[in-house]
Chain A
Amino acid sequence: MSQLVTGRTGDWEVVIGLEVHAQVSSQAKLFSGASASFGAAPNENVSLVDAAMPGMLPVINRECVYQAIRTGLGLKAQINLTSVFDRKNYFYADLPQGYQISQFKHSIVGAGVLRIVLADGSTRDIGIERLHLEQDAGKSMHDQHPSKSYIDLNRTGVALMEIVSRPDMRSAAEAAAFVRKLRSILRYLGTCDGNMEEGSLRADVNVSVRRTGAEFGTRTETKNLNSLRFIQQAIDYEVARQIELIEDGGTVDQETRLFDTNTGTTRTMRSKEDAHDYRYFPDPDLLPLVVTQKEVDDLAAALPELPDDIRDRLINDYGLSPYDASVITEERDTAEFYEAASAGQDRKLVANWMTVELFGALNKSGQSLSDCKISPAMLGGLVSLISDGTISGRIAKDVFADMFETGKDAASIVDEKGLKQVSDSGAIEALIDAVIAANMDKVEEYRGGKDKLFGFFVGQVMKQSGGQANPGMVNQILKSKLDS
């Protein structure tokens, strides 16, 4: 599939690599016992270690290590049984130690792969280069005082997973699909809540352009994008900027850029010349991080079924379309809802009702699946009434709206409102006879060859029945009467 961008002088290929920072879901921070929860009052979750008091030492939180391994397994990646924590040295007011503990040379997770799903339902494999554990920094607040900056160290030392992709993506849409899929896997695994607004998941995008088949161009890195929209905007802006620059005879500088959320543009943060010399070296306060193969195997055995596997199952075993299967499996709770709702029902019909009616209603009302009044069993119940002919698809839409509103189940709504489909042939015949008698002129026209009028008669009969007549029977009886 060609995804070239056309410039003034020809076509350009876009090359994108991502570095995603995902906050590890854990009780405590990576190297201290302080709470890693979000939303506490400033500097409430700060231990002596986080504040880098003299003589304080880091101690690894094993649960964070396990979360990184689970994520690595979810990315079908190599798990390194020995990895090393390094210090990344730089001064900043919200970095109390004067260095960030990270993994530079020997990361806990090596090469893996992530399968992205594109808009047309097709998939593409994006390489994962590595995943490593590192500490988050604190937060500087420059708007609280006219001349001073305030520092909140709550985030200081919270565990992050930095997930680095290969430069395998070729469009902003693929980059967005990558982050969406990664977020989905993280949430399935429970290793990161994926909350982009709260900063639990943020991405740095590396973008370059080249002529097809040429060497990689010089890349820029745009930092700290915390929404799918911003990621795509930043990439689109960078692509256009770089192509214009090169076509005008200039060159792209390797530099770090910032994204302006107000204008949707990027600007230079620091050039390669100003790049920090981080003076990485192994942290002498920590021994190499060693995990056993048994620990890895135990974590692998306890892993939940992942979206790709569920998606394949929905397509192959249930016959769903790749699109429906992707939509349903993007979130773990949606997939579980679907599995429960469709058990013993027409799987495709349930998928259809879920992706069209249920998601549409949720979208419209701004509700999430968890606070919705319709349970999986209720949706299954509605579909079963359709399947066994108790109600028609049209009536079912009204019943669904009622269910969504009131939380009542489909059967009782159908009973209370008397919406049961009429399949009594005598009753339907009577309705048809009345409609024919009232429209003799149209019957003549029909019999004279105007076939299209059949739909008119069906509509009239359904209308007379209040929508409750069994449409199949109406069709059949009407045809025999008109054609006789």
Chain B
Amino acid sequence: MSDLLDLSAVEARAALDAKSISATELTSAYIKAAEETASLNNYVLLTPDHALAMAARADEKLAKGEAGLLEGIPLGVKDLFCTTGVATTACSRILQGFTPPYESTVTANLWAEGAVMLGKLNCDEFAMGSANETSAFGPAINPWQSAEKIDLVPGGSSGGSASAVAARSALMATGTDTGGSIRQPAAFCGVVGLKPTYGRCSRWGIVAFASSLDQAGPFTRTVADNALMLQAMASHDAKDSTSSVVQLQDVMAAVGQGVSGMKIGVPREYVMDGMDPDVMALWQQGQDWLRQAGAELVEVSLPHTKYALPTYYIIAPAEASSNLARYDGVRYGLRVEAGSLDQMYEATRAAGFGEEVQRRILIGTYVLSAGYYDAYYLKAQKVRRLIKQDFDTVFTTVDALLTPATPSAAFAVGRKIDDPVVNFLNDVFTVPANLAGLPGMSVPAGLNADGLPLGLQVLGKPYDEASLYRVAGVLEQATAFTATPTRRAGGAK
């Protein structure tokens, strides 16, 4: 059985097409794996009956030779994606008991291509957090452990997604990335995570955090799987006004194309004080690998990088404070009855939202207030344009950028949660891509001295995911990343 869990999605698809395994068999193995690794708390809801029914349908399709891109591939869905008839909570008490009568466009695309839903995955409440510690279901745990065997965070907000894919309890998973919520957990858990270009995947049916930054993307164990999943997820969607009509490139083909002749920038502003020396070393190693593969590496400058975090922490909460106004106890989710309408709002939102969500709503409300709007929100929008211009300028001379994905490896559960500002720093390398709407990818590239995975980030031009897959394909090959976490399903311990 452990063999089944170690198949990549591309391999599993070949085996399914060859009838050497069945979708039901593969799905059953993953259901068992999820149960086996339940202590990681990466699923908030398992839907085994649903999964087996979908697997049976996939087997029928396979038998008829009508298989879709992801026919029979069992995957997990971040609990931010609305799924018809299956509880969707954004890991918040305020959406307790909410079961949507509609399916998000992204998950609908996945099911249309034959994917099988194993269940809903843990995440930070409303995707607000970098450690998956703000979830109403408690923290998801990273399957990787250092020598001390203490529980580590899987990163966030898509912590459950990264944890499950790494632990072999999902072959792939959906995530969303507002400031690094796919790339940072992917790096912490040693898996591949892509934040596509803003507009590439429809936001329709995904619980909104910050509309101008949110973007859905795939978590996988290999770069090729990632390209495969992106193909299935991405689409133009008339129901999302910010969805792009630009066609997705042939990303599957890009994976093996190599980087020969590519010009890759290394932004000097991404060298930060107090960065883990292992991260610095890996970044240098990554540059060497790419150079050896025929790319030209050049130092570039993104002068406004240092303003990215403060800009992000104004814009994201501003949008969130408005996006989360709909959770008011009137129509769905939690309601705490009280004397007047205003009291009901207060009681419901105080009980329904966790501390981090409340903090961001307060910040967002503040920066949009009369008298502060110009100094905060408007200024942040101006800086956002400057950050975007930095990238536009750099991309006139280079094809992609190589940076670390995170300043450090995964940390212990509970270690940083007391200091929200330190938590915010996790996003320092990932946030600029969200502000600029660019695609970014985190690829596992090695282990640190404690044996924990580290990731490198590749950033590209808008709608040029193909270049990311070219670079990531080379890094994957050079790294030969074969290590697996200790708390995985099915593996030899």
Contact = CB atoms under 8 A, between A and B. Distances in A.
A53 B211 CA distance: 15
A29 to B, nearest CB: 14
Contacts of B481: none
Nearest to A52: B326
A55 B208 contact: yes
B319 A55 contact: no
A96 B333 CA distance: 13
A59 B238 contact: yes
A286 B203 CA distance: 12
Contacts of A56: 204-205
A285 interface: yes
Contacts of A93: 328, 330, 341
A254 to B, nearest CB: 15
A351 B248 CA distance: 67
B368 A279 contact: yes
Contacts of B36: none
Nearest to B90: A54
Given A53-B332, A87-B322, A284-B212, A279 B369 contact: yes
Contacts of B104: 55
A279 B326 contact: no
A281 B241 contact: no
B345 interface: yes
A287 B242 contact: yes
Nearest to B366: A279
Contacts of A283: 211
B318 interface: yes
B241 A58 contact: yes
A42 to B, nearest CB: 14
A216 interface: no
A91 B203 contact: no
Interface in B201-217: 203-208, 210-212
Given A284-B211, A285-B241, A287-B241, A277 B325 contact: no
Interface in A83-103: 87, 89, 91-93, 96-99
Interface string B212-228: 10000000000000000
A53 B212 contact: no
Nearest to B205: A55
Interface in A350-384: none
Interface in A280-297: 280-281, 283-287
Contacts of B88: 54
Band of interface residues on B: 35 or more
Given A58-B241, A98-B328, A53 B100 contact: yes
B270 interface: no
A57 interface: yes
Interface in A105-147: none
B326 A97 contact: yes
A287 B341 CA distance: 33
A91 B211 CA distance: 20
A5 interface: no
Interface in B170-224: 203-208, 210-212
A284 B319 contact: yes
A482 interface: no
B95 interface: yes
A56 B370 CA distance: 28
B204 A55 contact: yes
A59 B239 contact: yes
A98 B327 CA distance: 8
A133 to B, nearest CB: 15
B424 interface: no
B240 interface: yes
A277 B365 CA distance: 10
A98 B104 CA distance: 22
Interface string B46-82: 0000000000000000000000000000000000011
A48 interface: yes
A51 B326 CA distance: 9
B330 A96 contact: yes
B137 interface: no
A60 interface: yes
A257 B207 CA distance: 38
**Considering residues A59, A93, A281, which has the most beta carbons from chain B within 10 angstroms of its beta carbon?**
A281
A318 to B, nearest CB: 50
Contacts of A89: 321-322, 325, 368
B336 to A, nearest CB: 15
Contact of B331 (A51, A58, A287): A51
B365 A279 contact: yes
A277 B369 contact: yes
Contacts of B144: none
B211 A48 contact: no
A96 B208 CA distance: 15
Contacts of B332: 53
A258 interface: no
A96 B332 CA distance: 11
A413 interface: no
B313 interface: no
A53 B98 CA distance: 10
A252 interface: no
Interface in B354-384: 365, 368-370, 373, 377
Contacts of A60: 241
Contacts of A287: 241-242
Given A55-B104, A97-B325, A284 B239 contact: no
A281 B211 contact: no
Contacts of B328: 91, 93, 98
A143 to B, nearest CB: 16
Contact of A48 (B81, B102, B210, B322): B102
A91 B345 contact: yes
A151 interface: yes
A87 B211 CA distance: 13
B254 to A, nearest CB: 29
Contacts of A51: 331
Contacts of B208: 54-55, 285
Interface string A284-320: 1111000000000000000000000000000000000
Interface of A: 48, 51-60, 87, 89, 91-93, 96-99, 149, 151, 277, 279-281, 283-287
13 contacts: A52-B326, A54-B88, A55-B82, A55-B207, A56-B204, A56-B205, A57-B240, A98-B328, A99-B325, A277-B369, A279-B370, A284-B211, A285-B242
Given A55-B204, A55-B205, 10 more contacts: A53-B332, A54-B98, A54-B207, A57-B204, A57-B239, A98-B325, A99-B322, A279-B365, A285-B241, A287-B242
9 closest Cβ contacts across the A-B interface? A98-B325, A279-B368, A284-B211, A284-B212, A52-B326, A55-B205, A54-B207, A277-B370, A285-B211
